């Protein structure tokens, strides 16, 4: 007799571990992870089954194996749910939605929809249409890079970033002092960074933006889930009070305090998602400008983010959202919001206390730690064998050093 269902997760990073943990906590079952290598987040884990596939990051090999393994698993399971954990995996799935939806229960968006927001420049065009405010922005094309420096219409500091920092083109680009996001204080810095980028094979657009006033404690992250009918059924919001600063991870969230209930920015995002008939998880990076008293949207990630596990800690199971929608085919009409205030961390507590400069927020962090409402995606009491404990200790010690070397006061 066939088992009811299985989650098939693509990747082995923190995102993949977070979904795996959610699945294991909810159903006491191991998901199957498909990946080309086991990253530290899933190393020595006992809550996952992992299948290593050579060159799985190659789009042809990736989709060939997802389909082949899917048909094999259908002999044992009634229903399969696919969970891509990176932009590249999700793009591959969306491009092959017709084939995959014959095997897996997912209902992916059309590629024509994805093309409308797959890069920041396209997303900002949609923001204009759906009344989402974004920072003053210049889209710098490849042939404009050397001339753009003297044409910046707003003051420093400014922000420079690739059109899609998670694209394979940028991930593979190699140049001096590479970062996901650059904060630039003067013209000479901008000139040097563009020169370095030009020495790489990255040819896509660069995004140059006005810096939104305020430090990390003004960052906001919004996670959503839209069901197979394109209706938003979950919205969670968190104050992302500290970012990471190492070059390869700069801009990723390190500390989040969940926000209970509804916030006015959520209504605009709900209208946007339902208007484009979005399906599945989405993740928005936002910042509140302390001077202009306004929310500015930076980007949409068309999947759950690495930090989305804060939603799980605050009371809404990520795995259960997929299960209810795609396995049980439940029709939900009411949006779920968070009802717990918690502290999510991807760094040691001492880093959160030391580098959070806002005194009110720092006090809140200490309070939540004292009340034992602090959570880490990778620290799971049911998955702490000796090897994994030492791995996490080494990982967290390296983060302490990273803040010492790279932290920037904004």
> In which residue are the tokens 């042939």 written?
143
DSSP for 367-408, please give it.
HHHHTT-EEESS--TTS--HHHHHHHHHHHHHHHHHHHHH--
What pLDDT was estimated at residue 249? 86
Take residue 27 and report the two structure tokens written for it.
């159903």
At residue 232, the 3 state secondary structure works out as strand
Taking 80 as the threshold, does the pLDDT of residue 359 lie above it? Answer: yes
Taking 90 as the threshold, does the pLDDT of residue 1 lie above it? Answer: no
Query: Is the Cβ–Cβ distance between 355 and 257 less than 8 Å?
Result: no
Going 175 to 91 to 17 to 60, the CA torsion angle's sign is: negative
Q: What is the pLDDT of residues 215-270, one digit of tens each?
A: 889 999 999 999 999 999 999 999 999 999 988 888 899 999 999 998 889 999 99
pTM (predicted TM-score): 0.90
What pLDDT was estimated at residue 255? 97
Q: What is the pLDDT of residues 163-194, one digit of tens each?
A: 887 777 888 889 998 988 898 999 999 999 99
Q: What is the pLDDT of residues 90-145, one digit of tens each?
A: 999 999 999 999 999 999 999 999 999 988 889 999 999 999 999 999 889 989 99
What pLDDT was estimated at residue 74? 97
Mean pLDDT, range 199-228, rounded to an integer: 92
Cis ω for the linkage preceding 157 (within 30 of 0) = yes
Take residue 89 and report the two structure tokens written for it.
């995996």
Distance, CA of 114 to CA of 209 (rounded, Å): 23
Query: Is the Cβ–Cβ distance between 50 and 12 less than 8 Å?
Result: yes
What pLDDT was estimated at residue 264? 87
Lowest-confidence pick of 74-78, 79-83, 356-360: 356-360
What is the strand order of the sheet 343-345 is part of?
Answer: 294-301, 280-289, 219-226, 232-243, 253-259, 343-345, 374-376
What pLDDT was estimated at residue 77? 97
Give me the CATH code for the 3-107 domain, please. Answer: 3.40.50.720
What pLDDT was estimated at residue 55? 96
What pLDDT was estimated at residue 344? 98
Distance, CA of 311 to CA of 304 (rounded, Å): 10
Q: Strand runs (DSSP E) across 211-248, as ranges?
A: 219-226, 232-243
Domains of the chain, by residue range, sit at 3-107, 136-210, 216-406
Confidence of residue 298 (pLDDT cuts 50, 70, 90): very high
What pLDDT was estimated at residue 164? 82
Mean pLDDT, range 151-168, rounded to an integer: 86
Take residue 284 and report the two structure tokens written for it.
């928005």
Strand partners, 297: 286
What pLDDT was estimated at residue 38? 97
Backbone φ and ψ for 135, nearest 5 degrees, come out as -65, 155
Percent of the chain surpassing pLDDT 90: 77
Distance, CA of 134 to CA of 277 (rounded, Å): 21
Strand partners, 209: 137, 159
Query: Is the Cβ–Cβ distance between 200 and 129 less than 8 Å?
Result: no
Distance, CA of 82 to CA of 322 (rounded, Å): 10
Taking 90 as the threshold, does the pLDDT of residue 296 lie above it? Answer: yes
Mean pLDDT, range 380-399, rounded to an integer: 97
Beta-strand relationship, 77-84 and 3-10: parallel
**Could you tell me which residue, 146 or 16, shows the higher pLDDT?**
16
User: Among 343, 326, 388, 382, which Cα is nearest to 24's?
Assistant: 382
Q: Strand runs (DSSP E) across 244-279, as ranges?
A: 253-259
DSSP for 4-45, please give it.
EEEEEEE--SHHHHHHHHHHHHHHS-PPEEEESS--GGGTT-
Take residue 135 and report the two structure tokens written for it.
């920072």
Confidence of residue 408 (pLDDT cuts 50, 70, 90): confident
Backbone φ and ψ for 194, nearest 5 degrees, come out as -65, -40
Taking 90 as the threshold, does the pLDDT of residue 292 lie above it? Answer: no
What pLDDT was estimated at residue 119? 85
- DSSP class of residue 80 equals E
Taking 90 as the threshold, does the pLDDT of residue 214 lie above it? Answer: no
Mean pLDDT, range 399-403, rounded to an integer: 95
Distance, CA of 361 to CA of 168 (rounded, Å): 36
Average pLDDT of the residues of the chain: 94
> In which residue are the tokens 């928005």 written?
284
Fold of 136-210: Dna Ligase; domain 1 (3.30.1490)
Taking 80 as the threshold, does the pLDDT of residue 410 lie above it? Answer: no
Give me the CATH code for the 216-406 domain, please. Answer: 3.30.470.20
């Amino acid at each position: 007799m066939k088992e009811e269902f299985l989650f098939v997760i693509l990747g082995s990073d923190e995102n993949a571990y977070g979904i795996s943990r959610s699945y294991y906590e909810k159903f006491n079952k191991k998901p199957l992870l498909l990946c080309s290598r086991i990253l530290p987040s899933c190393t020595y884990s006992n809550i996952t089954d992992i299948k290593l596939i050579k060159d799985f990051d190659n789009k042809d090999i990736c989709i060939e194996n997802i389909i082949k393994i899917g048909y094999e698993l259908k002999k044992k399971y009634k229903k399969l749910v696919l969970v891509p954990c990176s932009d590249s995996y999700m793009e591959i799935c969306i491009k092959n939605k017709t084939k995959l939806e014959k095997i897996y229960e997912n209902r992916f968006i059309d590629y024509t929809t994805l093309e409308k927001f797959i890069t920041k420049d396209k997303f900002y065009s949609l923001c204009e249409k759906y009344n989402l405010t974004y920072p003053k922005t210049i889209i710098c094309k490849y042939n404009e890079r050397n001339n753009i420096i003297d044409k910046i219409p707003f003051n420093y500091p400014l922000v420079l970033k690739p059109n899609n920092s998670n694209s394979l083109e940028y991930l593979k680009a190699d140049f001096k002092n590479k970062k996901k996001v650059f904060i630039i204080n003067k013209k000479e810095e901008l000139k040097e960074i563009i020169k370095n980028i030009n020495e790489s094979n990255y040819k896509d657009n660069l995004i140059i933006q006005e810096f939104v006033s305020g430090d990390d404690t003004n960052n906001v992250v919004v996670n959503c889930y839209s069901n197979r009918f394109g209706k938003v059924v979950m919205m969670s919001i968190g104050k992302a009070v500290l970012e990471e600063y190492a070059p390869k991870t700069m801009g990723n969230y390190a500390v989040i305090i969940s926000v209970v209930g509804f916030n006015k920015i959520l209504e605009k995002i709900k209208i946007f998602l339902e208007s484009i008939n979005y399906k599945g998880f989405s993740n928005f990076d936002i910042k509140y400008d302390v001077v202009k008293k306004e929310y500015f949207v930076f980007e949409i990630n068309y999947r759950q983010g690495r930090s989305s596990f804060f939603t799980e800690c605050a009371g809404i199971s990520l795995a259960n959202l997929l299960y209810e929608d795609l396995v049980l085919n439940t029709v939900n009409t009411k949006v779920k919001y968070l009802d717990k205030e918690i502290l999510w961390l991807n760094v040691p507590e001492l880093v959160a206390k030391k580098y959070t400069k806002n005194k009110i927020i720092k006090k809140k962090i200490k309070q939540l730690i004292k009340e034992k409402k602090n959570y880490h995606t990778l620290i799971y009491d049911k998955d702490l064998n000796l090897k994994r404990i030492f791995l996490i200790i080494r990982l967290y010690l390296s983060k302490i050093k990273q803040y010492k070397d790279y932290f920037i006061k904004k």
